[in-house]
């Protein structure tokens, strides 16, 4: 489905991606873990087409997209770490923005306003924000803004979903609700998802496979149980943090 081959990216004197290779299967949820600043979000931006690599290629369904294939990029959606809602627009206007600007992502034809309103209402209902069309982002909690940003994805039904730290800054209960919505969205859209996160509980709750981004490359890739058995200091540290989270969640 998604094939990333020998991807390189440098910013000034900093080499961020160093020949990174990754294969993502259709319909799976792949979670990418790694230390801060190693280039996990950079990788997402390259898949999305927001940035171009210095070298290397990205293929989606055997079509190379690192040049320019907007019809494929339009079939992607990204949930940004800060939600990236337009502050001057209502929640309904934010959710409707893509369809109003681009029309049907598959045909490019304009969509009637009544149909867009219906799609927005359905998406907001799905994420638990029914009736919030006229609310402004500033009036919503962090968790509700994440929900609104997720509704914006659901509206145009992309088949590739990218998530940049979807639970960062959220309390454990809200984070769990967002994780459940990610799974619901995956099932509803029959999508392929790539998630970057530092949240170990979320990673093991969501992932079909886990990848460790290290030294500009994907150092390890495996299903969650196998991943924890890999002899790597970073993975062992992640394993200890997962154990700590689990112990802290136990009733006393």
- Here the CATH number for the domain that contains residue 47 is 3.40.50.300
Domain that holds residue 215: 1-68+198-252
Q: Distance (Å, rounded) from C-alpha 120 to C-alpha 21?
A: 37
Q: Please indicate, yes or no, if residue 136 is contained in any of the structural domains.
A: no
Answer whether residue 251 shows pLDDT above 90.
no
> How many separate domains does the chain show?
1
Least confident window among 36-40, 180-184, 228-232, 242-246 = 242-246
Residue 51 included in any domain: yes
If one compares 95 and 250, the residue with the highest pLDDT of the two is 95
36 assigned to some structural domain:
yes
Q: Describe the crossing of helices 142-156 and 113-126 by its angle, rounded to 10 degrees.
A: 130
CB 21 within 8 A of CB 217: yes
Q: What are the pLDDT digits (tens) for 117-164?
A: 999 999 999 999 999 999 999 999 999 999 999 999 889 888 899 999
Closest CA to 39 of 76, 5, 10, 13: 10
pLDDT for 168: 87
Domain-embedded: residue 62: yes
pLDDT at 27 exceeding the cut of 60: yes
Domain presence at residue 8:
yes
Averaged pLDDT for residues 236-252: 63
Q: Is residue 184 assigned to a domain?
A: no
Span 225-251, average pLDDT? 75
Please indicate, yes or no, if residue 146 is contained in any of the structural domains.
no
pLDDT in tens, 39-94: 899 999 999 888 899 999 999 888 888 766 555 566 888 998 888 899 999 999 99
pLDDT band for 252, please (50, 70, 90 cuts).
Answer: very low
The reported pLDDT for the residue numbered 24 is 97
Max Cα-Cα span within the chain: 58
Question: Tell me: the pLDDT tens digits for 180-229?
Answer: 999 999 998 889 999 999 888 899 999 999 999 999 999 999 999 999 89
121 falls within a domain: no
């Amino acid at each position: 489905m998604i094939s990333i081959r020998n991807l390189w990216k440098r910013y000034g004197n900093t080499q961020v991606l160093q020949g990174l290779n990754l294969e993502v299967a259709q319909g799976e949820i792949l979670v990418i873990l790694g230390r801060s600043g190693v280039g996990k979000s950079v990788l997402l931006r390259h898949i999305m087409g927001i940035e171009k690599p210095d070298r290397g290629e990205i293929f989606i369904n055997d079509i190379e997209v690192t040049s320019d294939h907007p019809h494929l990029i339009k079939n992607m959606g990204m949930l940004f770490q800060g939600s990236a809602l337009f502050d001057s627009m209502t929640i309904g206007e934010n959710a409707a923005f893509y369809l109003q600007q681009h029309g049907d992502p598959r045909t490019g034809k304009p969509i009637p306003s009544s149909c867009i309103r219906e799609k927005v209402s359905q998406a907001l209902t799905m994420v638990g924000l029914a009736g919030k069309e006229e609310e402004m982002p500033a009036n919503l909690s962090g968790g509700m803004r994440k929900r609104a940003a997720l509704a914006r994805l659901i509206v145009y039904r992309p088949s590739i979903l990218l998530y940049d730290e979807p639970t960062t800054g959220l309390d454990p209960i809200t984070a769990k609700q967002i994780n459940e919505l990610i799974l619901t969205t995956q099932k509803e859209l029959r999508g392929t998802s790539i998630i970057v996160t530092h949240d170990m509980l979320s990673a093991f709750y969501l992932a079909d496979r886990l990848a460790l981004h290290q030294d500009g490359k994907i150092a390890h890739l495996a299903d969650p149980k196998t991943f924890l058995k890999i002899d790597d200091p970073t993975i062992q540290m992640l394993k200890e943090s997962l154990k700590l989270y689990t112990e802290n969640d136990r009733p006393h």
